[in-house]
Amino acid sequence: MKQIAFALLVGGSVLAPMTGWADDSAAIAERNAAFEAAFNAKDAAGVAALYTEDAVLLPPDMAMVNGRDGAEALWAGFIEAGAGDLDLTSVALEVAGDLANEIGTFSLTVPDDSGGTHAVNGKYVVVWKRDDAGVWSLHWDIWNGDPSE
Amino acid sequence: MKQIAFALLVGGSVLAPMTGWADDSAAIAERNAAFEAAFNAKDAAGVAALYTEDAVLLPPDMAMVNGRDGAEALWAGFIEAGAGDLDLTSVALEVAGDLANEIGTFSLTVPDDSGGTHAVNGKYVVVWKRDDAGVWSLHWDIWNGDPSE
């Protein structure tokens, strides 16, 4: 019995995630906060740095976008178009080893025709990936809009 | 040394996935084929049966939809509106234990104003979940459209 307990312990230490769910959840929350901060500072490169090198972004009504360079160009386009005040709200998170899947909602503002702004609301799924150093990055990122009001 | 090998074996047999990547990939491809077949047979209940009981669907320009009943109502609405000829193409699949993340593209036809049909193309991310019996089901499902032509 002692041998089996030892066996599970050794197996677990090799195969189990290096951190617990609460740590992963907190780390991903920090990355989302960094995403908001970079976006709202109009720092597209800072947003892109939060993605994996081989990230895939799937924006609505646009073609898929690949990699950090693609991500930077995409977010720069939105930022240059005047989008701002991004707010991300995590709704669900499921961690499986070095991958974590998140459902969230977002809101941001975009310029309207009369010189003001109007709010855009939507929802997303992000597949996060943890690298060997333990850093979580957006790996796949897809979103779409809420019903129009 | 022998004891450590034994330990890893025991730990591995407890914690590792029950099947290999190729098996998982084939199983998920079968489920996608079943999704297409049910949708194209106008069988919304058959489509919904491919989802987990606590599935979350994130359709574009609509609110989130929860559970199999929600999935059935959603797909019944699309089917009753005349959507058909659904074709799913898997682009990427990453399996992590009992979860698997898939990127894919889709096409379907919807009625146009002149009594014919026109094609709608888009892309999706599905988070698949494997149950204790080894059956993969759609757990989270989000999609959006390609650029309009």
What interface predicted TM-score (ipTM) does this complex get?
0.86
Which residues on chain A are in Cβ contact (under 8 Å) with B89?
none
Q: How many Å apart are CA A65 and CA A100, to the nearest integer? A: 20
Best-predicted range by mean pLDDT (B4-8, B31-35, B115-119): B31-35
In A, residues 85-104, which contact B (CB 8 Å cutoff)? 92, 94, 96-99, 101, 103
What value does the mean pLDDT take over residues A66-72? 98
- Of all residues in chain A, the one with the smallest CA distance to B144 is A60
Give the C-alpha separation, B53 to B56, whole Å: 9
Structure tokens at B65: 């939809």
B17 to A4, A14, B13, B81, B134: CA distances (angstroms): 20, 15, 8, 41, 10
Q: What is the pTM (predicted TM-score) of this model?
A: 0.86
**Residue B130's closest CA among B102, B103, B91, B106?**
B102
- Block residue for tokens 């333990």: A134
* A10, A94, A140 ranked by CB distance to B99: nearest: A94
Fill in the amino acid letter for B74: L
Of B60, B123, B67, nearest in space to A146 by CA: B60
Low-confidence winner among A77-86, A103-112, A140-149, B17-26 (lowest mean pLDDT): B17-26
Q: Is the pLDDT of residue B20 over 90?
A: no
Please report the pLDDT score of residue B1 as a whole number. Answer: 38
Residues 6+ apart with CB under 8 A from B15: A11, A12, A15, A16
**What Rg, from alpha-carbon coordinates, does chain A have?**
18
Q: Closest to B144 (Cβ–Cβ): which among A58, A99, A140?
A: A58
Q: How far apart are CA B76 and CA A49, in angstroms?
A: 41
Let me know if B110 is exposed, middle or buried by CB neighbors in 10 A (0-12, 13-18, 19+): middle
**Residue from B96, B8, B3 nearest A8 by CA:** B8
Q: Where residue B14 falls among pLDDT bands split at 50, 70, 90?
A: very low
> Average model confidence (pLDDT) for chain B?
89
Q: Are A16 and B15 an interchain contact pair (Cβ–Cβ within 8 Å)?
A: yes
Percent of chain B with pLDDT over 90: 81
Q: Is B2 exposed, middle or buried (0-12, 13-18, 19+ CB in 10 A)?
A: exposed
Q: Which residues sit opposite B118 in a β-bridge?
A: B110
Q: How confident is the model at residue A6 (pLDDT cuts 50, 70, 90)?
A: very low
% residues pLDDT > 70 (chain B):
87
> What local confidence, expressed as pLDDT, does residue B112 receive?
92
Does pLDDT of A5 surpass 90?
Answer: no
Question: What order do you get walking across the sheet with A117-130 strand by strand?
Answer: A65-66, A51-58, A136-145, A117-130, A99-111, A84-96
Contacts of B57 (CB under 8 A, 6+ apart): B51, B64, B65, B66, B70, B71, B74, B140, B141, B142
> B14: nearest CA in chain A?
A8
Half-sphere exposure of B4 (CA within 13 A, CB side): 3
Confidence of residue A148 (pLDDT cuts 50, 70, 90): confident
Kindly give, in sequence order, each residue whose CB lies less than 8 Å from that of residue A132, ignoring residues fewer than 6 positions away: none
Closest residue in A to B149 (Cα) is: A61
Over residues B90-113, the mean pLDDT reads 95
